[in-house]
Amino acid sequence: MGRNGRRSLARGCGRRYHLHNHADVQVSLAKGGRMSTAEAEQADAVTPLDGCAVRMVDPARVADTRRRLLDVDEAEQLGGLFRLLGDRNRVRILFALAEAGELCVCDLAAAVDVAEPAVSQALRLLRTAGVVRSRRHGRTVWYRLDDEHVRLLLDLSRTHLSHGS
């Protein structure tokens, strides 16, 4: 128990404290690892930035949210898609395909200024994930976005970036 009768449990290097409202806060320590009285009083008044000032759960809202939440398998697939889009070369390849409609590996490599083997590898990953599709014409393989949903995802992502969020 702290001086005010409140529970303060030190964790780690003595810098994280668990306060009476069950919030973890970060506080600075004076030399020697001791907290001054002023710091202790200030720590008791701190509200965590990423938490609730008053911990109170709304069961109806939680239940409604859980009913609409995607299941774990769908969340895993979506996370995989976002990881796939987490590479700047793959994103540039997708935007090149969105602009051109259909390109071969040689044209894509020249357009995005990336080596052909790297473009080929990126296209293999994108094709396997169902983001692009290919068609063979003679000895040339042509690539394009799989469908308009991919274009929509790219356009929405770019719009989101443009308004500074």
Tally the domains of the chain: 2
Residue 38 C-beta-side C-alpha neighbours within 13 Å: 1
The answer to whether residue 139 is domain-embedded is yes
Residue 124 C-beta-side C-alpha neighbours within 13 Å: 6
Same domain? 102 vs 46: no
Same domain? 8 vs 83: no
Average pLDDT over every residue of 64-93: 93
Give the pLDDT band (50/70/90) at residue 88. very high
User: Tokens in use for 119?
Assistant: 């473009």
What three-state secondary structure class fits 41? helix
Same domain? 147 vs 85: yes
**H helices within 34-104, ranges in order?**
37-45, 59-68, 72-84, 88-100
Give the pLDDT band (50/70/90) at residue 20. very low
User: Tokens in use for 14?
Assistant: 């003595």
CB of 126 closer than 8 Å to CB of 84: yes
Same domain? 94 vs 148: yes
Give the CA-trace dihedral at 16, 17, 22, 23, to 10 degrees. -50
Same domain? 101 vs 153: yes
- Given a cut of 70, whether residue 83 has pLDDT beyond it is yes
Give 58's contacts (C-beta < 8 A, 6+ positions apart).
none
- Given a cut of 80, whether residue 15 has pLDDT beyond it is no
Provide the domain limits for residue 147.
73-162
